[in-house]
Amino acid sequence: MDIPSKHGLQKRIVIVGAGFAGLTLAKKLSPTYFQVILIDKNNYHQFQPLLYQVATSGLEPSSISFPLRKILQHYKNVYIRIAEVKNILPAENRIETSIGDIDFDYLVLAQGAETNYFNNQSLQQNSYSMKSVAEALYLRNTLLQNFEKALISNNEKERDALLQIVIVGGGPTGFELAGAIAEMKNNILPKDYPELDFRQMNIILIEASSRLLSSISAQSAEKAQQYLEDLGVKVQVNTSVNNYDGRSVSLSDGTMLCSRCLVWAAGVKGMALKGLPLSSVLPNDRIRVDAFNRIHGMANAFAIGDVAFMPDEENPKGHPQVAPVAIQQAELLAKNLKNIVLRRKPEAFIYHDKGSMATVGRNLAVVEMGKFKIKGFSAWIIWMLVHLMSIIGIKNKLLILINWIWHYVTYDQSLRLIIRPFENTNKADNEKAIKSLHPIF
């Protein structure tokens, strides 16, 4: 494959994945010391924390998706290649990709995580996940199509199933999605579908552990659950889903629910690649690394972000799979790679937790920053400001802010479009094609 030649003292660093970790690292590496090859399956970076708003018609996909070449056009040492990694050849310092082989001096794996269905094939085939823009659009289409089907259904049980939405997983993704759908039910859908009685619509959030939002305190989680229940969401804790066939949901307590839409947000797993030392790959496909993010059994390869597993005293199960961890690991690795080239001692990674937050919707959120616990309207404002600051590009910040203000003033969302790509294929092939898409590998 055609790759530009290195200049002077440059070492070639190949980064796999353009999520928070990979993109931050590519931007932080010095052009004096490094030539960067950034590989991703897609030509864009996506802001995953707001995918649920795409799924609920609150934001355009383009508002949270950013072209890599636009982001990195002023970084002259970074070269982008759209490809899939097929295999790693550690002994040869080379990777095999869908567009050819690439040699490296240092390899950094930052391909993120994917939905974990815990080997349940029925759940994987019939549920809906939300790890990419494509999956968020697919979920949006499904929700809107189900309302259209309910409108014309003469079968009461079928109509109830179409109007019953089950969300599995009480983390931030499931929590915020449940709140957004509840707001649609309360403020928008009765106006769009006056012939339907949305008092019959159920939104059920199921969590296997004893409470929602395990990353925040029990006090804040209890308040957050109260916000959800006040919006009409039915919360079931200490309950897990055994199976889902596309129509019936089987719960651990023996209950059966009828639903045509189950959203699976109950966990993620890593995406390990072929060729890694077996000792470095955990059963959940996360990659074992040391305190410097170096992959176990490899001298010049590193893993950062969601795919990296770095246990320590405070985090015996590894660090949280969230954006702040990925960004902090990338920033430190950029410094450490320069230290390695200059034969200086690298620094060990220490995670600085700046807090956690989650929102239910209008004026309702919980925020924890150190000893401070904030809830309600103030927390909601903080949540919006933090997310706006994290968005790439002034244009995208303005678009999102305008959408939020419009929704706040009018109680409406203007993006309730059913998009049907691949019109030349049948519905089954169409849905299969969309659902097979993933952001990175």
- Please list the active-site residues: 176
Q: How many CB atoms lie within 10 A of CB 394?
A: 8
Mode of pairing for the β-strands spanning 261-264 and 287-288: unpaired
Q: Tell me which DSSP letter residue 329 carries.
A: H
CA–CA dist 180, 52 (Å, integer): 8
Q: How many CB atoms lie within 10 A of CB 382?
A: 17
110: its two tokens: 């930052």
* 6: enclosing H helix or E strand: none
CA–CA dist 276, 298 (Å, integer): 8
Show Cβ contacts of residue 424 under 8 Å, excluding neighbours closer than 6 positions: none
Cα distance between the two ends of the chain: 20
Kindly report the CA angle at 80 between 77 and 85, in degrees rounded to 5? 125
CA–CA dist 146, 149 (Å, integer): 5
Please tell me whether residue 325 adopts helix, strand or coil conformation.
Answer: helix
Question: What are the φ and ψ backbone dihedral angles of 359, each rounded to 5 degrees?
Answer: -125, 145
CA–CA dist 296, 286 (Å, integer): 12
Q: Nearest-CA neighbor of 51 among 65, 33, 72, 35?
A: 65
Size of the chain, expressed as the number of residues it contains: 441
Q: Nearest-CA neighbor of 323 among 233, 241, 273, 387?
A: 387
